[in-house]
Chains A and B, each alone.
Chain A
Amino acid sequence: DAGVTQSPTHLIKTRGQQVTLRCSPKSGHDTVSWYQQALGQGPQFIFQYYEEEERQRGNFPDRFSGHQFPNYSSELNVNALLLGDSALYLCASSRLGGGETYEQYFGPGTRLTVT
């Protein structure tokens, strides 16, 4: 089992550009969440996808959007990049169970640098 995989590992973009980050969940998982982690801070929840729909969202602007595919993989898109978007972007997968809570498995992250 490969666990949660993310691509690319590192990315450098220019202010104003658009970026797409990709995530493949752990086998058997159907829910994907995205987090942004600035240097020295804890991860901040961006949004969560389940059954190809955005299920809940954190306090992030509409420039941040996502998608989930039928195979449960997911993309995070960020438009009109700002310098402040420079961060580690983490993908986490889990299994959505009725009434129970399950641990989330995180990928290694994509380091985005905006210049």
Chain B
Amino acid sequence: KAGVTQTPRYLIKTRGQQVTLSCSPISGHRSVSWYQQTPGQGLQFLFEYFSETQRNKGNFPGRFSGRQFSNSRSEMNVSTLELGDSALYLCASSPDTSAGYGYTFGSGTRLTVV
């Protein structure tokens, strides 16, 4: 079955612009999480959605937002881009968040802010 699909793979944006990233989870997976990966900070949790509801949010400014649709697809949006937002953004999906379920990650979207 298809894995977690993230689009686009690469993005170059200018400071001040906004960007929307998309994630299609594995079919049947209801939980979708987003992570930011940078060389300095490593993997940091952004937010998690389950059945269209945001259940957890990481320690990121309000410029970072997301949503989940009824088909479990998710988008994240970053407004007023800053140079420090340059990172690999990873999406992960899981069938459930009960004990024993791991997460399957997508290949990520590489965002470069210039």
Chain B associates with chain A: no
Query: B-contacting residues of A (Cβ < 8 Å)?
Result: none
